[in-house]
Amino acid sequence: MKRLCATLLPLLASCTFLQNAALQAEYERLQTAEPSMRNLKHLVARETYLVHGRVSALEGGPALTQPMSLVAFSSRLRAHEAVDAMHHLAPGTHYGLNLPPGDYELVLLSDLDGDGRLGTHEALARRQLQLPDAASAQKVIGQVDLPIGPTQPPEWPIDLKAEPLPTRPQSLFYPPNTLRTLSDPLFDPAMSALGLYQPAAFIEKAGTLFYALEEDFGHKIPVVFVHGIQGSAREFEGLVQQLDRRRFKPWFFHYPSGASLNQMAQLFHDIFLSGRLIPPPEGMPLVIVAHSMGGLVVREALNLRAAGEQRPIGFISLASPFGGHPAAAAGERNGLLVLPSWRDLSPASRFIAGLHRTPLPEAVSHHLLYAFANPDALKLGENSDGVVPLSSQLSANAQRQARQQRGFNTTHTGILQDPQAQAHVLALIHQHWSPVPAAHQALLERGGFEEELPEGLSGLQRYLLRHYGHYLRGLASGQLTPLNRYDAEFVAAAQGQRGATSEGAQAWLRFAARYPELAR
């Protein structure tokens, strides 16, 4: 959280703030003169829906070689207006859309004829969607899935540009364009400012709010990093560099920090906590490291967990304003532009009042880390870390539910770089262990084979041999005991007791035939 931003009052006079206030005024003028749903979603004073779902694989049909685009059309203000879209989709991947209330036709398209355009005849799936105007409606809608199959072409002409696939590496498992480095422009300060002042524009550019540094490895414990207001994933670079990457995988919730905290919390829950988008292996812990306002997003998301959920979760908050921020209330009263997150940050808001309404279960351990060094030469008011009052970081409700509290003589942003704070956070992370037995874990961490692989393997088969080859050999040779039904079926196929129907078994048999000395 940037100091200038976090204090909010100086922000009200900053050039960036005034420019964005003027931009919002222009959006309002356009909406009056030339109303459109696409313009409407950029008005921060209007609520929008975040819709997510899955594009299901094509059953029994030919493999799709071209990426797909999902487009949401509305005729509420203009005939068949393309309001939002997500590109570069593949069968089995998830999508996300940002839409104002209204009725929509979701159309999945692909450039099947290779002319660089998306046409009416290239529709692969359609679905109607109704998003009510009611203020009380849930503003995150999930499981809006689209099965690919024979589809009646839309009744109106479609002629859109087919977005070319970026040259960056793509994941076999994650949504498109989620594999990044922390030096990626997506995490630049300009994008952070865009997320604060123009959440809809941020979502258009970001596409997805989930990011990772590497392909998924199911045996590693996920560590989700969550930034604060006008922050980014890059702020956690010092911690990520010291993370034991053999056992842990860093994930990032890189979200528009000006958006509604209730909405961001619901989305965080759906992505990381619900188990629907990312089903966790049984007993696999989850670690969450959240700075500043990110801690509020996570704490509200934990309220949304299903009763009786027992997944072990380590929640580490850093300098989070659990009691709200008094400057947010002043910003709401005096600002030309009132952002949804500021409204939620007010100590008198319904969001803050309900933040600790559900006690944390035994499976969730909250480690509350706070900062108390105020660098200001002239110190006015109560004690703080230079940004967040100590009384807010140590709100009574947060203290009661925390497993541990620890303070650091550093500033609000300095807590992310402070060596003592980093060492403590890393120690808390590294105390979590995978439920996989030690012998299995050792071979999983050993990885796979570097030898030239047989021709014609699928991407998944190559991935399994490159990253899990030693584990597969351990199973096939009897060195390891199968842990589940999939392992048992693999062993039976590898030992010739049944046909090889899984990609893992097929890949292993081809590899073993080519390199029998390595398969033993």
DSSP string for residues in 479-498: SS---SHHHHHHHHHHTTSS
Residue 138's pLDDT is what?
78
Q: How far apart, in whole angstroms, are the C-alpha atoms of residue 6 and residue 176?
A: 32
- Domain limits, the chain: 3-15+168-430, 36-161, 438-519
Q: Are 113 and 162 in contact (CB under 8 A)?
A: no
64-76: average pLDDT:
93
Q: What is the pLDDT of residues 72-102, one digit of tens each?
A: 999 999 999 999 999 999 998 999 999 999 9
CATH for the stretch 3-15+168-430: 3.40.50.1820
Phi-psi region of 251 (alpha: psi -120 to 50; beta: other; left: phi over 0): beta
Q: Are 342 and 335 in contact (CB under 8 A)?
A: yes
Q: pLDDT-derived band of residue 380, with 50, 70 and 90 as boundaries?
A: low
Q: How far apart, in whole angstroms, are the C-alpha atoms of residue 81 and residue 41?
A: 13
Q: pLDDT-derived band of residue 308, with 50, 70 and 90 as boundaries?
A: confident
With a cut of 90, say whether residue 1 has pLDDT above it: no
Query: Where does residue 472 rank: exposed (0-12), middle (13-18), buried (19+ CB within 10 A)?
Result: buried
Phi-psi region of 398 (alpha: psi -120 to 50; beta: other; left: phi over 0): alpha
With a cut of 50, say whether residue 515 has pLDDT above it: yes
Tell me the fold of 36-161: Immunoglobulin-like (2.60.40)
Q: pLDDT-derived band of residue 180, with 50, 70 and 90 as boundaries?
A: very high
Q: pLDDT-derived band of residue 253, with 50, 70 and 90 as boundaries?
A: very high
Question: Which residue has 């976090």 as its token pair?
Answer: 6
